[in-house]
Structure 1
Amino acid sequence: MSDSNTTDFSNPSTFILLGIPGLEAAHTWLSIPFCAIYVIAILGNSIILFIVKKEPSLHGPLYYFLCILVVTDLVLLTSTPPKMLSIFWFNSREINVSACLTQMYFIHCCSMIESGIFVAMAFDHYVAICDPLRYSTILTNSVVAQIGLAVVLRGSMLTLCFPFIARRWPYCTTNIIPHLYCHLIAVEKLACADIRISSYYSLFVVLPVFGLDVFFITMSYTQILRAIFSLPTKDARFKTFGTCSSHFFVILAVYLPGLFSFLIHRFGYNVLLHFHILMANMSLLVPPMLNPIIYGVRAKEIWVRLLQFITHQGI
């Protein structure tokens, strides 16, 4: 049989991102909410980072953790949405293999760092509510720095294997990725090799890490709720619960769509492809948009400092 009509993809230099297969005609319209989410997320996270940096009264453990979360979201927003928008607007579908694998790495790395920061923030709330007299002695600046460094190193190291493994796979049939970004599972499906190592690693290493994070967050909030309901007055209970509610809603906004997207990509064989892709993108883009909105609304200090800055500048 002649090889004249076949193409060797064993070492491709580029991948082709199709966007959202089946919804190509709607790409221009879909770009509007995607662009709006991107702009809101960039502005919101940048404002929070600026306000916390400028206001000395916000230089505390919770806001240090919030800044790490904000920087993580900004890195994620820099690595993924610009390419999505270029596909929507300019039909720029080619992406260099190295850029694709780098994008894949930052997506998973940022997700794991974000999860670790949620654990740190839950611990902060636990100490503040359940052991307030020892708060300043437990969460010192050095302890906060160590926790932040541990979270960043954990996310960086545990996800480092994904691009290295994917780089070694042969791609012998096609280099077309039916997605808006370099999603790990979508890239895995292109490989003409045994991908069980990557699949087992994600299932038995990464998932337990997220599972432990959820467990520690659940345990922290169980203790927090017990402490809240033991408070003597209704006003005190309501005020304390309000302090933690923003963090709780952010956690739900991150974990539930992410878990749902992971499950339908792994096991949702009968789910429409464009629904797969839309869910994956929403789980990636919505949390960075919601984080500054929810924290900005619930964190009175950030809101007050922002209004003071706008008033002072005469905007």
Structure 2
Amino acid sequence: MPICPVCRLELDSWRDISEHIEKMANEKSDPQHVMWLSRHISNKEIKKEDLETWLFNYFEKPNELSLWIRKRFIEKFYSHKPHPFMLAMQKPTRGVLLGYVLEHRHFLQNWVKVLSLIVFNTDKDDVIKYELENISTEYLGINGKPSHYELLIRMGESLGLSREIIFSTDPLPSTKESIETWRYIALNRPWIETMAAMHSLEIAADRSNKNYGAKIHYFDIEILNSDKYNKEVKDFLKEGYEADIGHTGEALNLIEKYADTRKTIENIKVTVLKSLDALDKYLFARLERAMQFEPELIEVIKQ
């Protein structure tokens, strides 16, 4: 049965869901339902029949879960109007990269904590192995290679921030709110939803995104060959560029493998959307932090 993407109410059809959302938004003025409609469809009133059609097309197509997750991510961040942070990363300035460092440190700390909860809550050996390898790569480093976390810190140092400053800087409110969303999911939803919520975020750096309709990549890959950026910047960006295509594909395959009921699939989709909304807010926090170094970046956000 379809579920409401806002409150997870189960009903018999998308028509019932559309009537429910319309009633909650227009008759009862429930802020969560109103906000969802405004964010995902329109801030103008929409007919129930049109809402039903939109919901069906949005949640039922494409049929393959992994492809559905990719499509929703690319629509939100890489469509004809890419996210302002993605635009800023095409030719990132020192301020953009420092905003990345200061906020992403908190993201990565939370990342490994949430993945640890997936390990704790699942009994699937392949999932446990996958997440432990991911945790090691992100936070500890493997095979003599520094972790993503360490490469991030080194990038910040190379751009003029000391480790003391990096580690003593608290997250901005939007970063904190996003982290709280991911923690809430990890503590309150099944492990497979948590896995989908977190690893859908890795689609950001997936090299295959243009095959699925993305207009741009996470960053201009010419950066990796450019003399305008130092080794530490290239090392950090290159690591994500090379890793996430494999990580993302494997994670999505595992999620599809264990999403064995319609109810599980519908709940995964709703949770992924909540996670992508949190990512949207978090990426703006990176830009907000960047403006502390370069106030003129306000023009990037206005685009």
Point out the structure with max Rg over C-alpha. 1
Give the alignment's TM-score, normalised by structure 1: 0.32
